[in-house]
Structure 1
Amino acid sequence: MVLLPKKKLLIVDDSAFMRKLIGDFFKESNVIEVVGIARNGKDAIQKIKALKPDVVTMDVEMPEMNGLEALKRIMAETPVAVVMLSSTTQKGTEITLQAMGYGAVDFVAKPSGTISLDLHKIKEELVEKVENAANVSMSKLNIVTPKVPTTILNLLDRKIEADKTIGAKRVSNWNKANKKMVLIGTSTGGPRALQEVITKLPKDMQAPVLIVQHMPAGFTKSLAERLNQLAEIEVKEAENGDIIRNGHAYIAPGGYHMKIHKIGSTYSIVLDNEEAPRAGHRPAVDVLFEDSSHYNDFDKIAVIMTGMGSDGSKGLRQLKKNGNVVAIAESAATCIVYGMPKAAVETNLVNEVVDLENIAKAIIQYLP
């Protein structure tokens, strides 16, 4: 068996204690080798140029130059995969979401603030995310959706139509007049992907949007607020009892599965923190999909985007057994991690495989 060379990791944190703890996590790794440490963002920029790491862990809050400022410089000068370490304070969550927008691959929430003596609680998560980030193509983190001149919009429409027909599984009994609900599941790379999709949905869209993004509590609220500022539709972190309305998007809060409940002719959100996590995730896409499969008085558009693992594929099977469902998966070409969409495609139940920048258009074509 040929052993592949280890990927190089640079650890950036102003705390010597935290640098030591994080370094110890990778001592037994067959995949990652720690090649250096940096005390702040300024130091990190110099070390990245000198050591050429494959992946960087970076604290959000540091003196002299914080993680966000350093990230902007790194992505402009020497792009590299970065996993942010963040506190769960409001400021920490907001900065982390900005970091994802600037090109960070992923983030890990420290369990108890800047100096987390109990960092071992997130060891497995951090190791997995660093190993994953080390293999991410940097070109996928720099996707900028071009502004398309109106004169060639019809050509773009034709291209999307052509893309859809290749291997697309048509839904023969789809009726645009029926009530609709859009269900979206995503994980690693999801905040950027959601921004690309949600900001292209029209204010008057005739369907609600229910979203599961794998994130801890606190971060989902910041994500919802950020998307709400950018989107035409209303976006909020879901709350128990929210009436589900067209033109509104509801993001499952970290720590809670999201389900729905019918009251007369309307539907409301049910949040559940008692049902166990699925494959380590609560919220889980599978739970949202499976729960929605019990209601047949609306058609479902299920969308699975970038993310590690296979969350969503079991739920998709359940959805497809009951009622009218169109399944859309993000293409490997634009996924930060082609895990969840790949698992969905392998069920052979996906109707369309679409590049990220075309997902909103793919959704809209199925709405009234």
Structure 2
Amino acid sequence: MSRITVLVVDDSAFMRKLITDFLEESGFIEVVATARNGHDALSKISQLNPDIITLDIEMPGLNGLQTLRRIMEEFPRPVIMLSSTAQEGAEHTIQSLQLGAIDFIAKPSGAISLDLHKVRQELLQKVQMASHSRVRKINKANIEPIKQEKKSITQSKRYGQHIVCIGTSTGGPRALQQVLPRLPEDLEAPVFIVQHMPEGFTTSLAARLHSLSAVNVKEAEDGELALNGTAYIAPGGFHMKIEKAQNGLMIKLNKEYPRNGHRPSVDTMFESISKLENIHKVAVMMTGMGADGTEGLKKLKQSGDLHAISESEKTSIVFGMPKTAYQTKAIDAVEDVQDIAASILKFIRG
């Protein structure tokens, strides 16, 4: 196996040394250089052409977001952000994912994390995963709001009620930015989303997507009734299930054991929706590593009244979850990410 080359960018000499040691101890990663700031990083990327970059968000001068923007414009390649879990850090992390970063690592205890060893294995796994990902040059369509035309959709005569459910992981925040803003505010369905993400970050993700979308986007709350034209994102660290209640559909959150390492789990959400009767379901599988959602998709298919969409290999950052979904033979349409919203609307209209 060829070694993965990495540039480590952090304004702390201690953190640069710690991250370098963790990566090189793996035996399959070579840190070709470190950089102390954004300008230093851009110069070394041009000279050394590393496969992957780890990039601290909080740096003086040219900060992590500004540096990331330049990287994606001039030297597009996989970038893994290192972020604090504070609110400002979470907001910046979501911005970085929508600017093109492939993933992030939450520092356990702030800018200089003496306990970074707690996320050592996560760092190694994400660098290895990033080496198999697809990253394209950023363009304004990826980062600016989409002009939503106020067009009503016609309620399907075949179905009285619809549900849209979306599962995604690596690359998901950027992909969701290409789907939710293309849905109309009078969408005749609630939208339920599982995005693999730890606690402390889904609130910022929901707020960012809400600011760009005609539909309402919010972090789901336990016990709330689902409304048409609203997208509900499962909170990090919680499974989300949808149940029938006397007054409609109710969201239930829990902290049951992770499934295949994930909480929230797409499988958990899909399986709960498969139990709902006399409701038309539109399921969407988008970019992500692994197979979460595949078993749930099979159960959705068995329950009937399903149309399923998977993101194409062409636009998936990681073609894992969409690929395994397609292999179930439950998929009705394979779409580039920018066409997924139109496909959802087509199936809802009947």
TM-score range, shorter chain: over 0.9
* Per-residue CA distance 1:65-108 (angstroms, 9 max, x = gap): 21111111222222232110111111111111111122111111
Preserved contact between residue 189 and residue 307 of structure 1 (Cα < 8 Å): yes
Give the aligned residue type for 2:31.
Answer: V
Whether 2:113 is the aligned partner of 1:116: answer: yes
Whether 2:195 is the aligned partner of 1:213: answer: yes
Alpha-carbon distance change, 284 to 350 in structure 1, aligned in 2, over 3 angstroms: same
SS of equivalent to 1:320: helix
In the other structure, the counterpart of 1:241 is 223
In the other structure, the counterpart of 1:345 is 326
Find the aligned partners of 1:241 and 1:147 in 2 and give their Cα distance.
31
* Per-residue CA distance 1:113-138 (angstroms, 9 max, x = gap): 11222212212221111122223333
* Per-residue CA distance 1:198-255 (angstroms, 9 max, x = gap): 0000111100000000011121100100111110000000111221010000000000
- Runs of 4+ aligned residues of structure 1 deviating over 6 Å after TM superposition are 145-148
Whether 2:66 is the aligned partner of 1:64: answer: no
In the other structure, the counterpart of 1:156 is none
The offset of 1:29, in angstroms, is 2.9
Give the aligned residue type for 1:138.
Answer: V
| Mean Cα deviation higher: 25-34 or 113-122 | 25-34
Residue 300 of structure 1 is aligned with which of 265, 281, 285?
281
Alpha-carbon distance change, 284 to 210 in structure 1, aligned in 2, over 3 angstroms: same
SS of equivalent to 2:50: coil
Q: Structure 2 unaligned segments of length 5 or more: list them.
A: 147-155
Find the aligned partners of 1:22 and 1:364 in 2 and give their Cα distance.
45
Give me the CA root mean square deviation. 2.0
Residue 45 of structure 2 is aligned with which of 36, 44, 48?
48
SS of equivalent to 1:181: strand
* Per-residue CA distance 1:300-353 (angstroms, 9 max, x = gap): 111000001100001111111113111110010110000000111111111111
**Correspondence list, 1:1-368, <5 A:** 4-139=1-136, 144=141, 176-273=158-255, 275-368=256-349
Preserved contact between residue 258 and residue 264 of structure 2 (Cα < 8 Å): yes
SS of equivalent to 1:29: coil
Find the aligned partners of 1:30 and 1:236 in 2 and give their Cα distance.
42
Preserved contact between residue 83 and residue 90 of structure 2 (Cα < 8 Å): yes
TM-score (ref. length: structure 1) = 0.88
Alpha-carbon distance change, 128 to 280 in structure 1, aligned in 2, over 3 angstroms: same
SS of equivalent to 2:192: strand
Preserved contact between residue 296 and residue 323 of structure 1 (Cα < 8 Å): no
Preserved contact between residue 140 and residue 334 of structure 1 (Cα < 8 Å): no
The offset of 1:16, in angstroms, is 1.9
Find the aligned partners of 1:216 and 1:68 in 2 and give their Cα distance.
20
Find the aligned partners of 1:339 and 1:48 in 2 and give their Cα distance.
28
Q: Structure 1 unaligned segments of length 5 or more: list them.
A: 149-173
Give the aligned residue type for 2:228.
Answer: N
Preserved contact between residue 60 and residue 66 of structure 1 (Cα < 8 Å): yes
In the other structure, the counterpart of 2:153 is none
Preserved contact between residue 103 and residue 142 of structure 1 (Cα < 8 Å): no
| Mean Cα deviation higher: 74-83 or 93-102 | 74-83
SS of equivalent to 2:136: helix
Find the aligned partners of 2:195 and 2:157 in 1 and give their Cα distance.
29
Find the aligned partners of 2:122 and 2:53 in 1 and give their Cα distance.
15
In the other structure, the counterpart of 1:153 is none
SS of equivalent to 1:23: helix
Preserved contact between residue 176 and residue 367 of structure 1 (Cα < 8 Å): no
Give the aligned residue type for 2:173.
Answer: P
* Per-residue CA distance 1:166-218 (angstroms, 9 max, x = gap): xxxxxxxx964331100000000000100100000011110000000001112
| Mean Cα deviation higher: 129-138 or 348-357 | 129-138
Preserved contact between residue 10 and residue 37 of structure 1 (Cα < 8 Å): yes
Preserved contact between residue 72 and residue 137 of structure 2 (Cα < 8 Å): no
Preserved contact between residue 11 and residue 19 of structure 1 (Cα < 8 Å): yes
Preserved contact between residue 243 and residue 273 of structure 2 (Cα < 8 Å): no
The offset of 1:142, in angstroms, is 5.3
Find the aligned partners of 1:137 and 1:186 in 2 and give their Cα distance.
16
The offset of 1:143, in angstroms, is 8.7
SS of equivalent to 2:62: coil
Find the aligned partners of 1:70 and 1:305 in 2 and give their Cα distance.
27
Preserved contact between residue 107 and residue 116 of structure 2 (Cα < 8 Å): yes
Give the aligned residue type for 1:207.
Answer: A
Kindly tell me the number of residue pairs found equivalent between the two proteins: 339
